[in-house]
């Protein structure tokens, strides 16, 4: 109710059209302010104004321009007849005499909009009691507010029930026992069908791999290793390498396409990184790295497992054949994890047994004694023929006069002679970083092929010996005279660097490292 006679200029100002930066104000008042009839009094609210004002208009200008029963709202407030509540915030705030004559709508916090209620003096708005929300439901709804809900069990819930009871009725989804049994039967059938599809898929994959191997033809182990090493591609800056013959298979419920590649990777790479190197032009298919187990099944390496971890678990070895499988997740299932899946296929043997590492050397089948044992996590081998060859080598050195009784001076002279004759990459390895040792290359029948002093960088892995100075696959051994004259320790992990091997007591500077050729 705007008095246009008393405030013509103010009316013109307030009735201007809404522009950018204006405030939308909505003021409601209690209907009991217009009548003294008790029956009309209640919670009914009427709208006084709902329009836009300039944000620099003052609060007093807005309250002065509108009337209730012939009095402006500002006059009613000044005579303590009504109170003004701000419902823009929660809970509502009493702002009856908070603003002075200079307070604008913007500074009052009513930009871009505000919702105000005018109530009789002493009356407060109806709000829920947050402290007694669940214990005193009468403070939530007044007596004349009735809400009824019917639960699934037929229980009638009224507005006086606790909210927790209403929530329980909403989530009551009990299923009859007959339906539960039927659902269980369906789930069992689905699991059986899934297992059957998985078995059929693995059989198809195995047949496809066998077909690829037949196309490649049979070759000797040595020729196969040379072929993989000569054709393998990868990051050229890698020093320690693992070579794989890779079959890439696109599996969309039916094996569609396959190809063959030779790659090498770092032992630090994960199975996921190996798969990623083949993922170009594979679309949205998901990939996995499969390796064969003792049971003959191809199982999946975990994505985050590093290759050196797979080597320690006897899942992976150098120059082996692996399968890179890409499949559509909507049509096919992933291959079982190798850490658990081999048991599911009824494997009669464990994939690895850390308590007793087995060591077999086919080249030494003519030896009179060839045993292995677990000694402080070391693989020890008894090779009397090799021990005799080394003894003969030392005896020859004594006869030539190059061997003298052991003293500190004699040891230093030997070290100087070894340094002077040592072979290595002098441009790559600087003097302070060199590790000198005597390399003894032994054939498969334990005859010494050659003896030469060499050097490598202390940060180089032990596998670099085979790469730079042997160029053939073999096993690295060190002579353990303290255990037995014919006792040798095999270095299983060739990915560690020289300085780590020295710290663990595996090798010593100016010592002897033996390479026993596989063929």
d(CA 229, CA 225): 6
Residues 314 and 429 in one domain: no
The values of phi and psi at residue 292, to 5°, are -85, 150
Q: What percent of the chain has pLDDT over 70?
A: 70
Cα Rg of the chain, angstroms: 44
Average pLDDT of the chain to the nearest whole number: 75
Contact status, residue 456 vs residue 502, Cβ threshold 8 Å: no
* Residue 372's pLDDT band (cuts 50, 70, 90): very low
Which residue has better confidence, 206 or 279?
A: 279
Residues 372 and 318 in one domain: no
Contact status, residue 394 vs residue 403, Cβ threshold 8 Å: yes
Residues 303 and 377 in one domain: no
Residues 422 and 450 in one domain: yes
Residues 387 and 315 in one domain: no
* Residue 263's pLDDT band (cuts 50, 70, 90): very high
Domain presence at residue 357: no
* Residue 405's pLDDT band (cuts 50, 70, 90): low
Residues 207 and 340 in one domain: yes
Q: Please check the confidence at residue 218 and state whether its pLDDT lies above 70.
A: no
DSSP 58: B
pLDDT of residue 445: 83
The values of phi and psi at residue 366, to 5°, are -95, 0
Sheet with strand 254-265: strands edge to edge: 254-265, 242-252, 320-327, 286-292, 298-300
Domain presence at residue 150: no
Across the range 433-449, mean pLDDT stands at: 89
Residues 253 and 329 in one domain: yes
Q: Please check the confidence at residue 371 and state whether its pLDDT lies above 60.
A: no
Across the range 444-450, mean pLDDT stands at: 85
Across the range 370-387, mean pLDDT stands at: 59
Q: Which of 280, 315, 344 is the last residue of a domain?
A: 344
Residues 35 and 68 in one domain: yes
pLDDT of residue 146: 47
CATH of the domain at 18: 3.10.20.90
The values of phi and psi at residue 254, to 5°, are -130, 135
Q: What percent of the chain has pLDDT over 90?
A: 9
Instruction: Pick the range with the lowest mean pLDDT from 273-277, 350-354, 427-431.
Output: 350-354
Q: Please check the confidence at residue 141 and state whether its pLDDT lies above 60.
A: no
Domain coverage including residue 248:
194-344
When divided into structural domains, the chain yields a total of 3
Across the range 10-32, mean pLDDT stands at: 68
Domain presence at residue 390: yes
d(CA 363, CA 492): 18
* Residue 144's pLDDT band (cuts 50, 70, 90): very low
Domain presence at residue 151: no
Residues 338 and 207 in one domain: yes
Residues 219 and 116 in one domain: no
pLDDT of residue 339: 79
Domain presence at residue 155: no
Domain presence at residue 143: no
Report how far apart, in Å, the C-alpha atoms of 282 and of each of 244, 252, 265, 387 are: 20, 12, 20, 55
Question: For 123-133, what is each residue's pLDDT tens digit?
Answer: 888 764 444 34
d(CA 159, CA 145): 7
Residues 318 and 250 in one domain: yes
- DSSP 3-state assignment of 244? strand
Across the range 298-318, mean pLDDT stands at: 89
Q: Please check the confidence at residue 333 and state whether its pLDDT lies above 80.
A: no
Q: Please check the confidence at residue 9 and state whether its pLDDT lies above 60.
A: no
Domain presence at residue 44: yes
pLDDT of residue 49: 85
Q: Please check the confidence at residue 353 and state whether its pLDDT lies above 50.
A: no
Question: For 459-501, what is each residue's pLDDT tens digit?
Answer: 888 888 988 888 788 888 888 765 456 788 888 888 888 988 8
Residues 418 and 339 in one domain: no
Top-confidence range, 38-52, 284-298, 393-407: 284-298
Residue with tokens 């049509």: 331
Domain presence at residue 355: no
Question: For 224-233, what is each residue's pLDDT tens digit?
Answer: 788 888 888 9
pLDDT of residue 123: 84
Q: Which of 120, 149, 165 is the last residue of a domain?
A: 120
Q: Which of 344, 377, 405 is the last residue of a domain?
A: 344
pLDDT of residue 410: 75
pLDDT of residue 341: 60
Across the range 301-317, mean pLDDT stands at: 90
Task: Count other C-beta atoms under 10 Å from residue 83's C-beta.
Answer: 20
pLDDT of residue 274: 92
* Residue 453's pLDDT band (cuts 50, 70, 90): very high
């Amino acid at each position: 109710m705007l008095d246009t006679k008393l405030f013509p200029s103010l009316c013109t100002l307030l009735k201007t059209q809404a522009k950018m930066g204006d405030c939308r104000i909505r003021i409601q008042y209690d209907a009991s302010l217009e009548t003294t009839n008790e029956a009309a009094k209640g919670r009914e609210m009427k709208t006084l104004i709902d329009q836009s004002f300039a944000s620099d208009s003052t609060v007093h200008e807005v309250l002065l321009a509108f009337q209730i029963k012939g009095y402006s709202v500002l006059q009613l407030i000044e005579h303590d007849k009504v109170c003004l509540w701000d419902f823009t915030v929660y809970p509502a705030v009493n702002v009856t005499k908070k603003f002075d004559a200079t307070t604008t709508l913007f500074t009052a916090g009513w930009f871009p909009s505000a919702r105000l209620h005018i109530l009789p003096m002493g009356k407060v708005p109806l709000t829920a009691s947050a402290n007694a929300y669940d214990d005193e439901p009468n403070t939530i709804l007044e007596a004349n507010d009735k809400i009824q809900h019917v639960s699934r069990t037929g229980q009638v819930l009224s507005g006086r029930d606790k909210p927790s009871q209403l929530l329980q009725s909403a989530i009551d989804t009990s299923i009859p026992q007959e339906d539960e049994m039927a659902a269980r039967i369906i789930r069992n059938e689905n699991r059986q069908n899934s297992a059957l599809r998985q078995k059929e898929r693995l059989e198809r994959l195995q047949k496809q791999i066998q077909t690829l191997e037949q196309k490649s033809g049979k070759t000797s182990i040595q020729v196969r290793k040379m072929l993989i090493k000569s054709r393998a591609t990868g990051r050229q800056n890698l020093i320690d390498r693992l070579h794989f013959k890779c079959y890439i298979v696109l599996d969309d419920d039916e094996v569609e396409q396959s190809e063959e590649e030779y790659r090498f990777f770092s032992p630090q790479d994960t199975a996921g990184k190996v798969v990623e190197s083949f993922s170009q032009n594979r679309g949205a298919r998901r990939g996995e790295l499969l390796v064969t187990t003792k049971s003959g099944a191809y199982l999946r390496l975990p994505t985050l497992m590093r290759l050196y971890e797979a080597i320690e678990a006897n899942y992976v070895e150098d120059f082996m054949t692996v399968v890179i499988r890409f499949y559509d997740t909507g049509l096919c299932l992933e291959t079982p994890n190798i850490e658990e899946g081999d048991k599911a296929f009824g494997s009669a043997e464990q994939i690895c047994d850390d308590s007793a590492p087995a060591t077999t050397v086919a080249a030494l089948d003519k030896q009179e004694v060839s045993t292995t044992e677990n000694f402080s996590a070391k693989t020890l081998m008894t090779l009397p023929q090799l021990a005799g060859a080394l003894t003969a080598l030392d005896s020859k050195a004594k006869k030539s006069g190059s061997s003298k009784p052991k003293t500190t001076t004699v040891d230093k002279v030997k070290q100087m002679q070894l340094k002077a004759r040592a072979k290595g990459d002098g441009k790559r390895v600087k003097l302070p970083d060199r590790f000198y040792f005597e390399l003894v290359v032994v054939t498969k029948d334990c005859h010494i092929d050659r003896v030469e002093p060499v050097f490598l960088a202390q940060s180089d892995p032990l596998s670099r010996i085979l790469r730079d100075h042997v160029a053939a696959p073999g096993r690295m051994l060190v002579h353990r005279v303290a255990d037995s004259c014919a006792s040798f320790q095999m270095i299983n992990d060739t990915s560690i660097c020289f300085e780590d091997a020295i710290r663990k007591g595996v090798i010593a500077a100016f010592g002897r490292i033996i390479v026993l050729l596989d063929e």
